[in-house]
Structure 1
Amino acid sequence: MKRKEVILFMTVGTGTNLNSNEENSESHAQKLYYTIDKIRPNHVVFFASDKSKETIKYIEKLFEKDNDEFIENEDYQVVTINAIDDLNKCFEVYESKIWEFDFKDDNDYDIIMDYTSGTKTMSAAMANCGMFYSKDLISVGGDRSTGEVSRGTEIIHYQNIYKIYDKFALMRTRYNFNANRFRACIDILNYIIDLNIHKDSLLNLCKSYYAWDNMDFEEAYDNLRKVDVNQMEFTEIKNDIKFNLKALGNIMNSKSVNLKNCYILASIINNSIRRSEEFKYDDAIARLYRSFELIAQIELTKYNIKSSDIDVSILKQNNVSDEFINDLEKTREDGKIRIGLEKDFLLLNELGNDLGKYYIENNSKIKNLTQKRNKSILAHGLDSLTQKDFDEFLEIVLNLSYSLDKDMKKFLKQTKFAKFDLKLELNKNY
């Protein structure tokens, strides 16, 4: 396999603590030459101020001394930095050259960035730029008993900054987590290698929320049980995770059908709220519509009535009018009577149920909202819905859910996904 060409980026200073500018430049050139000789790059890019450019001429002489040549625009190039104490300007100069080699040139290069020389600002900017673009960073160390690295003691240090990358990845994970991008979190976490970060628990948390967001309660429960909330990464969301685990546990294990259904309902409502936070109002209202329908279905189960298979004898036992029953009989198909959202609530009203009465009392508003939903691009039409549509629909659904069960606010709290505090105080401990 063909070896990649190596491009060496070098900041160029003027040297210090010598008797003349010439001695400064010669001494500094020797240190830069040492690095070039050890790295053996195909091309060098010097980043220098007008004052420090003279140093490069002495590097040419050192090559000549070794019976070699170092030719400008062939073996090296010089990029002038005018604002040597402006971090942003320095960063932009380095960045432009990275783009030139990585994206404008068709060849494939390995870029090594030596930030040892130059002003402190030049060095800091190069280190940051190298980290941002995932380039190899090197610095030259050695005996500093005289205040700077003594000739003959130079050692090239390749900077292993995986911990910095991992902390950056951890913060990206936290931001993506708060934005409900759990699949992205999983992809980012898989690249973390710092053993001090409890990656496995973080992965399990993200896998759990990803599954829960897709209504796979079993997978969500299995993964959330593997999260060790006592690890420091979960300090700020520890209690929320415990609530979530309790909610999923009830969905999976509760012997009470009503309790299980109420937690599922709360999960769907919170799911719709998350979609609205992402400005996906058509998607959010589609979930609210399902919540609306589920509320009626849950309430009907208290009468042992299934919307998917109406038992007329139960309706008669509960004094439902013959007119209503006859109307239902007209819809019987394959031996079964199946009813939808509107008929669910009308049946509840026939049963003298408060949810049915609420539906009748707010019929005009509810019909307007359901019609908008039906015209949505995610239902039967091509219209797009708005935040106002969502807020109005959510108000109806919440009012009905509170009437459905006195503990619904608790269920909603326990099924709400945790959010990290992004003020970064927690990161002081990493």
Structure 2
Amino acid sequence: MKQAMIITVGTGSTVAHGISRAIQDHHPEFVFFIGTEESIQKTLPAVLETSKLEENQYEIRTTQRPNDVERISMECVEHIKCLMHRGYRPEEIVADFTSGTKAMSAGLVVATFIMETGSVSYVHGERDQNGRVISGTERVTSIEPNRLLAEKKITLAIRLFNRYQFDSSLAVLSEVEGLIKTPDIVEKVTLLSRLTKAYSAWDRFELKAAIELLGGLENHPLASQWGIKKQLKHNNNTLHLEEKSQYSSFRAVDLLENAKRRAEEGKFDDAVARLYRLIEYLAQVKLHNDYGRLLTDNLDITALPNKLQGKYEQLKNSKQKLELGLTRSYELLEDLDDPLGKQFMEDYRRKGEIRVVLRMRNASILAHGFGPVGERAYCRCLRVIQDYLDLTFDNWRRIVPMVQFPKLRENPLS
């Protein structure tokens, strides 16, 4: 792989030898030297003589403020950009900060993190009584800032996951894949990508995809480090239960939690739209599970009691098909003497809270209106829907922890 270097140049009797050793070790095709007027005049000639660099293999940049870390870091960023314009990728650039003022060394290192360069090197060795490295004892040590950057980006991806920003999390993880390929980083990225894709699929109600992606992940060592092993097991079991039946308390509570996640993001219109769907879904569950698998999208009138068949026969459309909307579904439940249906229709007729919920949803830009839904309106809708869940399922509150998404530890202990 071709390489370029950017090197800070200081002064001192052994500095030239140390810089030459770094160049010898890395074999760069091109070098940027950064120094003061003094260090360029006193040190660089010996470096050029020893390293045998041709005139077209290096450029010299002089800094006027050698003790200004911020200024030097910005200058080094521009120098790194110049190397990139010459055709060097960030991972092909080595920054050596062995000599120069402390501010010059610090500024160069900061620039490598900003530009995500391949490695940082410094020369060290045995020192004399004056603290200078003894010529001939030098050793070159390289570190990869990309590893630190990768860990930082993984932490960012975890934060985004915990905020349900799954697409953004995957985008950050894709950046990590291009930074470094060490086994431990690859393992983290692979698992976190799979987790993110799984919960992204679940968040979109793609249950089969979520089941396939989550399978077995609770047994991965990182699941324990991230503090999600138990939750993954709960989620896996719940997904399988949801997949078995379209009409269940698990799906109802899952829809409720989906609405809560949208509210956490501040997307109250989306949240209320889901709560509206949940109200509709509760009627569908009741009709299907308690009254002979009745379906609201194609009601089998012959399955109704004889006294009701005449009424609902008249509601068929031109294709002789009967589709029930939300209010008609609850009206049918009322006709079947169902407590949920009777409560809904009573609230609806006296223009109670359920009527307010429906009006709020219809006024949303995502339904029939033109305005946004605020947090107060969402909270009011949530309270009403939870009351209707109480009328429908005895155990729904015990299901909540089983469908909640996990929160990963950002800085797990190994």
| Fold equivalence (TM over 0.5) | yes
Amino acid at match of 1:215: F
8 Å CA contact 2:299–2:321 kept in 1: the answer is yes
**Which residue is equivalent to 1:316?**
305
- CA drift of 1:161 comes to 4.5
Structure 1 150/139 Cα, relative in aligned 2: closer, same or farther at 3 Å? farther
- CA drift of 1:287 comes to 1.7
Instruction: Give SS of 1:75's match.
Output: strand
Structure 1 149/227 Cα, relative in aligned 2: closer, same or farther at 3 Å? same
Note the residue ranges of structure 1 that are not aligned, 5 or more in a row: 15-24
Structure 1 162/36 Cα, relative in aligned 2: closer, same or farther at 3 Å? closer
Residues 251-284 of structure 1 show CA distances to partners (whole Å, capped at 9, x for unaligned) of: 234xxx48x5221222222112112212222222
8 Å CA contact 1:115–1:127 kept in 2: the answer is yes
Structure 1 142/114 Cα, relative in aligned 2: closer, same or farther at 3 Å? closer
**Which residue is equivalent to 1:297?**
284
**Which residue is equivalent to 1:19?**
none
**Which residue is equivalent to 2:267?**
280
Structure 1 358/125 Cα, relative in aligned 2: closer, same or farther at 3 Å? farther
Residue 173 in 1 paired to residue 173 in 2? Answer: no
Distance of 1:104 and 1:141 partners within structure 2: 22
**Which residue is equivalent to 1:21?**
none
Distance of 1:309 and 1:292 partners within structure 2: 19
**Which residue is equivalent to 1:220?**
210
Distance of 1:233 and 1:149 partners within structure 2: 47
Residue 354 in 1 paired to residue 342 in 2? Answer: no
8 Å CA contact 2:330–2:341 kept in 1: the answer is yes
Distance of 2:405 and 2:96 partners within structure 1: 45
Distance of 1:140 and 1:387 partners within structure 2: 55
> 286, 296, 321: which is aligned to 1:336?
321
**Which residue is equivalent to 2:224?**
234
Q: Please list, as runs of the form range in 1=range in 2, the aligned pairs for 1:48-87 lying within 5 A after superposition.
A: 53-62=37-46, 75-81=59-65, 84=67
What number of residue pairs does the alignment pair up?
Answer: 394
Distance of 1:193 and 1:69 partners within structure 2: 32
Distance of 2:359 and 2:19 partners within structure 1: 74
Distance of 1:64 and 1:103 partners within structure 2: 21
8 Å CA contact 1:60–1:69 kept in 2: the answer is no
Distance of 2:170 and 2:84 partners within structure 1: 33
Structure 1 238/9 Cα, relative in aligned 2: closer, same or farther at 3 Å? same
Note the residue ranges of structure 2 that are not aligned, 5 or more in a row: none
8 Å CA contact 2:3–2:27 kept in 1: the answer is no
Amino acid at match of 1:246: N
Structure 1 250/148 Cα, relative in aligned 2: closer, same or farther at 3 Å? farther
Stretch deviating more after TM superposition (212-221 or 187-196)? 187-196
8 Å CA contact 1:205–1:224 kept in 2: the answer is yes
Amino acid at match of 1:347: L
**Which residue is equivalent to 1:263?**
250
- CA drift of 1:212 comes to 0.6
Distance of 1:224 and 1:64 partners within structure 2: 58
- CA drift of 1:392 comes to 1.6
Distance of 1:40 and 1:414 partners within structure 2: 56
Structure 1 410/193 Cα, relative in aligned 2: closer, same or farther at 3 Å? farther
Structure 1 233/248 Cα, relative in aligned 2: closer, same or farther at 3 Å? closer
**Which residue is equivalent to 2:296?**
307
**Which residue is equivalent to 2:95?**
113
Distance of 1:66 and 1:300 partners within structure 2: 88
Structure 1 92/372 Cα, relative in aligned 2: closer, same or farther at 3 Å? farther
Distance of 1:140 and 1:103 partners within structure 2: 22
8 Å CA contact 2:122–2:140 kept in 1: the answer is yes
Structure 1 99/345 Cα, relative in aligned 2: closer, same or farther at 3 Å? farther
Distance of 2:402 and 2:157 partners within structure 1: 23
**Which residue is equivalent to 2:134?**
150
8 Å CA contact 1:201–1:228 kept in 2: the answer is no
8 Å CA contact 1:29–1:56 kept in 2: the answer is no
**Which residue is equivalent to 1:418?**
406
Structure 1 308/69 Cα, relative in aligned 2: closer, same or farther at 3 Å? closer
- CA drift of 1:361 comes to 4.3
Distance of 2:319 and 2:139 partners within structure 1: 85
Structure 1 55/226 Cα, relative in aligned 2: closer, same or farther at 3 Å? same
Stretch deviating more after TM superposition (127-136 or 244-253)? 127-136
Instruction: Give SS of 2:357's match.
Output: helix
Normalised to the residue count of structure 1, the TM-score between the two structures is: 0.78
Structure 1 250/66 Cα, relative in aligned 2: closer, same or farther at 3 Å? closer
- CA drift of 1:59 comes to 2.6
**Which residue is equivalent to 2:7?**
10
- CA drift of 1:221 comes to 1.0
Distance of 1:230 and 1:105 partners within structure 2: 40
Instruction: Give SS of 2:382's match.
Output: helix
8 Å CA contact 1:127–1:137 kept in 2: the answer is no
- CA drift of 1:298 comes to 0.5
Structure 1 208/388 Cα, relative in aligned 2: closer, same or farther at 3 Å? same
8 Å CA contact 2:6–2:94 kept in 1: the answer is yes
**Which residue is equivalent to 2:119?**
137
Residues 186-243 of structure 1 show CA distances to partners (whole Å, capped at 9, x for unaligned) of: 4444516332354444333222112111111111112111314451343412211111
- CA drift of 1:101 comes to 5.2
- CA drift of 1:349 comes to 2.5
Distance of 1:205 and 1:58 partners within structure 2: 57
